[in-house]
A and B are shown apart, each in its own frame.
Chain A
Amino acid sequence: DTGVSQDPRHKITKRGQNVTFRCDPISEHNRLYWYRQTLGQGPEFLTYFQNEAQLEKSRLLSDRFSAERPKGSFSTLEIQRTEQGDSAMYLCASIAATSSYNSPLHFGNGTRLTVT
């Protein structure tokens, strides 16, 4: 399977704990996005990388959130001191930077975070 892979699929944590999610994009895709989605809503943009450079961060991304893509391949999203409001599906997507605007973002199946 050469699609976008996210791990874990589900994470249940207690408020105040730190969590880290991993995304493995399609191998030839050098642009990687993170989105957050709550139930029945559309995905909200969090941040994106081109290769290892983080080019944009949403104001939704508080200082408790940090994302990295150290070698320009996989990416991690860490949430420190989780709050109940962080409960959501975290989606990763990738695309080749040279793609046209007609090209789709390829999404993973997400990591569902529940903060108790």
Chain B
Amino acid sequence: TQLLEQSPQFLSIQEGENLTVYCNSSSVFSSLQWYRQEPGEGPVLLVTVVTGGEVKKLKRLTFQFGDARKDSSLHITAAQPGDTGLYLCAGVQGKLIFGQGTELSVKP
């Protein structure tokens, strides 16, 4: 049983489109982190959300933490080919628990 469910698992879009990735759980987390991973490399942190309802922006990326701190979303505006990669949400429960990831492909 996956503690953190991400959807969709795969997403292939054209450059310039918008997209949203969801991360859902039945558990409450003290914080949630979003990582991005490129082939052959380890995950790299994008953002940490801590407070229920919190919204954080990183250029064209907008991250939101649910009010109950059980879910989060990542919205990308005007996606670019450089956004291609595996996006991972991770909940902090002592150690980091990862979702299964969303494989994003942005075609020029």
Contact = CB atoms under 8 A, between A and B. Distances in A.
Interface of A: 4, 33, 35, 40-45, 48, 56, 91, 93, 101-105, 107-110
A101 B42 contact: no
A104 B86 contact: no
A48 B95 contact: yes
Contacts of B33: 104
Contacts of B68: none
B23 to A, nearest CB: 10
B95 A56 contact: yes
B95 A107 contact: no
Interface of B: 4, 6, 9, 30-31, 33, 35, 40-45, 48, 50, 86, 88, 90, 92, 94-101, 103
A17 B45 CA distance: 35
Which among B31, B42, B48, B98 has the greatest number of chain A C-beta atoms within 10 A?
B42
Contact of A102 (B35, B50, B103): B50
A101 B30 contact: yes
B16 to A, nearest CB: 25
Given A40-B86, A41-B101, A42-B101, A4 B50 contact: no
B96 A44 contact: no
B50 A43 contact: no
A108 B80 CA distance: 26
A56 B96 CA distance: 12
Contacts of A102: 31, 48, 50
A109 B42 contact: yes
A40 B48 contact: no
Contact of A104 (B30, B45, B97, B99): B45
Contacts of B97: 45
